[in-house]
Chain A
C-alpha cells in the first residue's frame, strides 16, 4: 500500500541547496541545440558555398545567437528581443537574412542582461566563448562534448586579460591564474611572469582610455582538441583573440567595443598573437593546465621583463626555436595541386592553370620572362606550417603551406608567385585544394625561407 511522504525527511531534503550552473551553461547548451537546428535546416536546403572570410558560418551562428538570446530573454531576465523566435520558423534563406540583421540587437540585448546581473569577466566570456562551440569542425564538436574543457579555456583566457591589467585587478587576475594550473607548477610560474612582462598590453580601453570598472571578455578560438583514451590528458590549440571588451562607464552604463577597432565582421573577432597549445591533465576530476606553449617569439623577452629567472626565459627561447624547425606533412590533395601546377607550366599550358586557382585566374604566359624558353620547374617539397604559428588558420578549409619549386631565378617578369614558397589554399566544395595566394610575408612565426 502506498504511503505518503515522510514529512520529516521531506523537510530535511527541502533544506538542501543545489548548486547553480556555471554562467556559460546555457550558452553552451543553447549553441549545441542551435547546431542541431542548423544541421536539420541544412539537410533540407540546397547546398551552397560557405561564405568566406567569416569566422563562423552565418546561418549556424545566427541561429545560435537567436536561440541563445531567445533563451536569455525568456529565462534569465525578461527582455524584449523582437523577432528572435519568429525568425527561427522562416525558410532558411529568409531566416539567414533576418537573423543577420538581428544579430547586433540580439547581442546587445544579451550583453545588457548579463551586465545587469553579472559582475565577473567569466560571465561575459561565457557568451563569447560559447560562440566557438557552434562551429562544426571535428575539434569543436569534441569541444562541445567536453564542456568542462571549454569552460576551462574560456575562463583561463578571461583571467589572462585580468592578469595583464595594471593595478588591483591585475593582482587579482595573476592570483586567480593559480586556479588553472597544478599547484606550484612551472607552467603557472611562466604564466605569471608572462603576465607581468606584458602588463597593460591587453588592458586598453577604447580610444586608449582605461575602462572604468571593466568587465573584459576574451574570445578564445579553439582550433584543435584531442582527448586521450583514458580521458585524463588533453591537448587544446587555442587562438586567443583578446580584442573584445565590455565595461561600465562612470554613470554605470554598459559600454562595449573592440580593443583593436572595428574589423568589419559581424562579430569583429580577430586573433591577436600566435595560437597557444594547452596541455591539460585531469586531476581529482578537474582539468588543469600542465603547459601553455606558444611559438610567439616575443614570449621569452616578455618573460624576462616579467622577472623570470634566466633559466626560465632561456628555456622557453630554446623550446620555441626547436619547435619552429619542425616540418609538417600536408594532405595528398595539396601536394597534387602543386604537382599539377608544375606539370602544366612545364607543358606551357598556361591557360589551364586557372583551374587550380580559387578565382579561376591562373598564371599567364606574360608572367614569365621567356614563356617558350627551355626552363623546367620541379616540385621539391611541400610542408605545412606549425599548428601553433600565426599561419595556423582556424577554418579547416583554409591552409597555408610552404612549397619549394626549383627553377631559374630570373624566370618571372615580376617578383613573387611561383618561386615565393609561401602559399595559401582553400578547399572547395568538392574537396579540391585551390590556390588563393602566394608570396604573402610571414609575420612573427618562424620563417621557412
Chain B
C-alpha cells in the first residue's frame, strides 16, 4: 500500500493513477516526481553506473507510461513501478558486456572533508560485491523499508526467499563494513509498507 505521506495534498493515489491511465502526461509526470528519487537510487545501486542508470530509467518510465492503461491495480502503483525499474535493470545488466567496475562512487567525486566519505565508499564497494539478488533485497528492505511480502511481490519470490537472501546479504555487508555480528534486530516502526 502506498503511504499516505507520499500523496499529493488533496489527491488520492487512485485518482492520480486513473488520470495517468486516461493518458494524461501531466499526471504521469506527477507520478514520476513522487517516486523518482527512490527508484533512481535503486537503479543506480543495481547498475553501478550513472549512464546505465539513466538509460534504464528512461526505458523504465517509457515502459510504465505504455503499460499504465493495462495496470489493473492489483498491486500498489509504487510496487508496480519498482518492479518495472527492477526488471528493466535486469535487462540492461543482461546486455552488459563488460563487468561493472565500481571502485569509486561517482557521487563522491567532489572533495568532501567529512569523515563519513570513506565509510560511504566502503558501503558502496561492499554493496557492489554482493550478488544481485542479495543486493536488491538489502536495498529494498533495509534501504527503502519494504516489507518482506512487498519485496517478494516486487521480485516475484516468496517472502521466505526474501528473508534468506536478506540474511546472507546483511551478514556479508556487516562483515565488509567491520560491523559487529547482528545479535538482535532493531525495530523500525516506519519501515512497514
> Which A residues are closer than 8 A to B by beta carbons?
2-10, 12-19, 21-22, 25, 28-30, 32-34, 36-37, 40, 67, 70-71, 74-75, 84-85, 88-89, 147-148, 231, 284-286
Rounded to whole Å, the gap between the CB of B182 and the closest CB of chain A is 6
Contacts of B174 in A (CB 8 A): 6, 8-9
Given A18-B44, A148-B55, CB of A5 within 8 Å of CB of B142 = yes
**B24 touching A89, Cβ below 8 Å:** yes
- 0/1 interface trace, chain B 147-169, chain A, CB 8 Å (1 if under): 11100000000010001000000
Say yes or no: A70 contacts B29, CB within 8 Å: yes
Shortest CB-to-CB span from A37 to chain B, Å, is 7
New A-B contacts (10) at CB < 8 Å, excluding given A17-B108, A17-B120: A2-B163, A6-B174, A17-B107, A19-B44, A21-B54, A22-B54, A28-B58, A33-B65, A88-B23, A147-B58
User: Would you give 5 A-B contacts (Cβ < 8 Å), ordered by A?
Assistant: A2-B148, A5-B142, A6-B186, A88-B23, A285-B98
Inter-subunit contact A29/B61 (CB<8 Å): yes
Verify A6–B40 contact, CB threshold 8 A.
no
Contact of A74 among B26, B119, B120 (CB under 8 A): B26
Known interface pairs A5-B191, A34-B25; A16-B124 also in contact (CB < 8 Å): yes
A285 contact set on B, CB distance < 8 A: 49, 51-52, 98
Q: Is the CB of B107 within 8 A of A88?
A: no
Q: A4-B187, A5-B191, A13-B139 given as contacts; is B173 within 8 A of A18 (CB)? A: no
B89 to chain A, nearest CB (A): 14
| Chain B residues positioned under 8 Å from A29 (CB to CB) | 58, 61-62
**B102 CB → nearest A CB, Å:** 12
Are A16 and B123 within 8 A (Cβ)?
A: yes
The listed residue (A2, A15, A147) touching B54 by CB distance below 8 A is A147
Min CB–CB distance B172 → chain A (angstroms):
11
Q: How far is the CA of A10 from the CA of B139 in the complex (A)?
A: 9
Shortest Cβ distance from B28 into A: residue: A33
Neighbour of B55 across the interface among A7, A32, A147, CB < 8 A: A147
**A191 → chain B closest CB, angstroms:** 22
Q: Chain B contact residues (Cβ within 8 angstroms of A): what range?
A: 35 or more
Contacts of B108 in A (CB 8 A): 17
Task: Please give the distance in Å from A134's CB to the nearest CB on chain B.
Answer: 13
Residue from A8, A147, A284 whose CB has the most chain B CB atoms within 10 Å: A8
Asked whether, in the complex, the Cβ of B33 is within 8 Å of the Cβ of A15, the reply is no
The 7 closest A-B pairs by CB, nearest first: A17-B107, A13-B143, A7-B186, A85-B26, A18-B41, A71-B29, A67-B25
* A61 CA / B143 CA spacing, docked (Å): 40
Using CB atoms, name the residue of chain A closest to B184: A3
CB of A4 within 8 A of CB of B143, answer no
Q: How far is the CA of A29 from the CA of B60 in the complex (A)?
A: 10
Most buried by B among A5, A74, A285: A5
The answer to whether the Cβ of B145 comes within 8 Å of any Cβ in the partner chain is yes
Whether B143 and A10, one on each chain, are in contact in the complex, defined by CB atoms closer than 8 angstroms, is yes
**Does B188 lie within 8 Å of A10, measured CB to CB?**
yes
Q: In the complex, which of the residues B61, B62, B119, B186 contacts A4, with contact meaning CB atoms closer than 8 Å?
A: B186
Of A6, A36, A84, A147, the contact of B170 (CB 8 Å cutoff): A6
Q: Which of A5, A12, A147 contacts B141 (CB 8 A)?
A: A5
**Interface check B179, CB cutoff 8 A:** yes
Would you call B15 an interface residue if the criterion is a C-beta within 8 Å of the partner chain's C-beta atoms?
Answer: no
Residues 98-139 of chain B, each 1 if its beta carbon lies under 8 Å from chain A, else 0: 100000011110000000100110011000000000000011
How near does chain A come to B136, taking the closest CB pair, in angstroms?
Answer: 12
Cα separation A168 to B170 with both chains bound (whole Å): 52
Please name all residues of chain A whose beta carbon is closer than 8 Å to the beta carbon of B7 when the two chains form the complex.
Answer: none
Give the shortest distance, in Å, between B36 (CB) and chain A (any CB). Answer: 8
Q: How far is the CA of A284 from the CA of B185 in the complex (A)?
A: 42
Of B50, B55, B188, which is within 8 A of A19 by CB? B50
Given known contacts A4-B191, A10-B188, A286-B51, A32 and B26 CB-to-CB distance under 8 angstroms: no
Beyond A9-B138, A85-B24, whether A15 also contacts B40 by CB under 8 A is no
Given contacts A6-B170, A16-B120, contact A75 B29 (CB under 8 A): yes
Known contacts A13-B139, A88-B25; is-contact A2 B65 (Cβ 8 Å): no
Query: Which residues of chain A have C-beta atoms less than 8 A from B124's C-beta?
Result: 16
Chain B residues positioned under 8 Å from A12 (CB to CB): 119-120, 123, 177
- Which partner residue on chain B sits nearest A89 by CB separation? B24
Complex interface: chain B residues within 8 A of A32 (CB):
58, 62
Residues in B whose Cβ lies below 8 Å from that of A5: 141-142, 145, 186, 188, 191
Give the docked Cα–Cα distance between A3 and B186 (Å).
8
Bound CA–CA A12/B173 (angstroms): 10
A89 and B23 CA atoms in complex are apart in Å by: 9
Q: Is B32 an interface residue (CB 8 A)?
A: yes
Contact of B85 with A by CB under 8 A: no
Question: In the complex the two chains form, is A18's CB within 8 Å of B143's CB?
Answer: no
Check A6/B182 contact, CB under 8 A, given A12-B177, A34-B25.
yes
| Chain A residues near B173 (CB-CB < 8 A) | 9
Among B62, B142, B147, point to the contact of A33 (Cβ < 8 A). B62
**Contact between chains at B62 and A6 (CB < 8 Å):** no
Nearest Cβ on chain A to B111's Cβ, whole angstroms: 14
Q: Say how far A8's CB is from chain B's closest CB, in angstroms.
A: 6
Known: A2-B148, A21-B57, A29-B58. A36 touches B65 (CB 8 A): yes
Cβ–Cβ < 8 Å partners of B187 in chain A: 4
Q: Give the CA-CA distance A36 to B25 in the complex, in Å.
A: 10
* Chain A residues, CB < 8 A from B91: none
C-alpha spacing A32/B187, complex, angstroms: 43
Cβ contact within 8 Å between A71 and B105: no
Quick check: A19 and B26 within 8 Å, CB to CB?
no
Bound complex: CA of A255 vs CA of B116, how far in Å? 43
Which residue of A18, A25, A32 has the most chain B CB atoms within 10 A of its CB atom? A18
Complex contact A74–B143 (CB within 8 A):
no
